[in-house]
Every structure is written in C-alpha cells, then in structure tokens.
Amino acid sequence: MNKAVESNNLFVFQRSKALQQYCGDVYYTHEDENGFLYVLSDGLGSGLEANRAAKATVDAIKEDIHADITEMLEKANQAVSGLRGAAIAIIKGDYLTKTLHYTGMGNIRFYMIGIEDKLIFPLSGSGFLSGRKQKYRLQSFKYKPGSKFLMHSDGLVLSRVRKSLESPLCVVKIGHLIERNILDIPTDDVTFMVGKFPE
C-alpha cells in the first residue's frame, strides 16, 4: 500500500511493509481555527493485526479531539487492551499561544526547530501502549511561525534531519526528497509527515 497527502502546510507519506494490503501505521490529522492535532500510531509488527491496534488508538483519540493529550494517550492505551499494542506520538498546537504540546510512547520520532533555532526532538516514554498502567510524559514548546516539523515511524531512517527542516523548499518538495530514502518494497511500515507551522 502506498499513500500520500499533500497540502500547502502538510505532506504525509505512507508505504506498507512489503507493499502489504494493511499498513501497521495509522495517522490522523485535524486542523481548525484554534490549532491542530497530529497523531501517528505504529501497531506492533505489521499487517492486519498491527493495523487494528494502531487504528484502535487513533479511533479512541478522535472521540474527543479537544481533550488534554495525556487523556488522549490514556484512552489510546485502554483501546489496545487485548490487541497487539502500539507506539504512538501526539502533537497538539495552539495558534493563539504558538505553543506545541507533545506526548508519546515508543519509537515514533518527532523533530522541530525551536524559537532559538535549536533542533528539538522530545523523547517519548519507553515501551508501548498495551492496556497496562503507564507513566506519560507531557512536554511543551514554543514553535516558531513558518518553521517546519517532521514526525515519522521507525520504518524511516533519515540522516541530516535539520537540513530538511531548514530547507527553503515547500513541505511537498521536502516530502518528495525524504521519500527518496524509502525502499520501493520496504522491510517495515513507513509513515512520515512534514509540516509547516502557520506564519
């Protein structure tokens, strides 16, 4: 399976392991006049069962997109009880305060350029969502309007992330450049999103 979403401020690309019908990565994006919410969930393993776990976490989050993101994470955790489990990352941005909130579990990676031009890559909690009690870590950052961010599952191996985020190219062109790093028939599910914070 191969999938891409392109807009002026967001590029999302997805390719499933060995081009299987079901991708173990599931993502969700939402934007309104107040801010944005981006979620990327990676079900353990690959194929249908991985997809079910990842989809369960995203569906739980979509039930109340205005909840605190640690509440979202707990709902996602409960949703995978009895399923394979999943790694996940959630970013929620507030346009008024220009603040981004981040939380996650497992090996989803998130990068952004901060207001002091430092590369920020917050660490998620260790382990994965499983339905068992977890400790969640919430981190908040001021984002620089017009700057870019990248979030990806562990199927993408990318060096020189900062160069991509500092590129003057639009997110669609950056996305296509990153896409070149992905095998035609990947050995793992791959999903990434490149976005641009509003100016």
pLDDT tens digits for range 85-125:
999 999 999 999 999 999 999 999 999 998 888 999 998 98
With respect to residue 3, please indicate whether it lies within any of the assigned structural domains. Answer: no
pLDDT at 115: 87
Give the integer Cα–Cα distance in Å for 18 and 8: 30
Can you give the CATH number for the domain in which 177 is found? 3.60.40.10
With respect to residue 4, please indicate whether it lies within any of the assigned structural domains. Answer: no
With respect to residue 11, please indicate whether it lies within any of the assigned structural domains. Answer: no
Burial of 187 from C-beta contacts in 10 A (0-12 / 13-18 / 19+): exposed
User: What domain count does the chain have?
Assistant: 1
With respect to residue 7, please indicate whether it lies within any of the assigned structural domains. Answer: no
With respect to residue 25, please indicate whether it lies within any of the assigned structural domains. Answer: yes
Angle ∠(186,187,189) on CA atoms, nearest 5? 70
With respect to residue 1, please indicate whether it lies within any of the assigned structural domains. Answer: no
pLDDT at 2: 57
With respect to residue 111, please indicate whether it lies within any of the assigned structural domains. Answer: yes
Where does 63-160 have alpha helices with state H?
A: 69-79
- Give the model confidence (pLDDT) of 133-190 as tens digits: 988 999 999 999 999 999 999 999 998 899 999 999 999 999 999 999 999 999 999 9
**Segments forming the whole domain that contains residue 188:** 19-197
With respect to residue 154, please indicate whether it lies within any of the assigned structural domains. Answer: yes
C-alpha torsion 56→36→133→22, nearest 10: 30
pLDDT at 1: 55
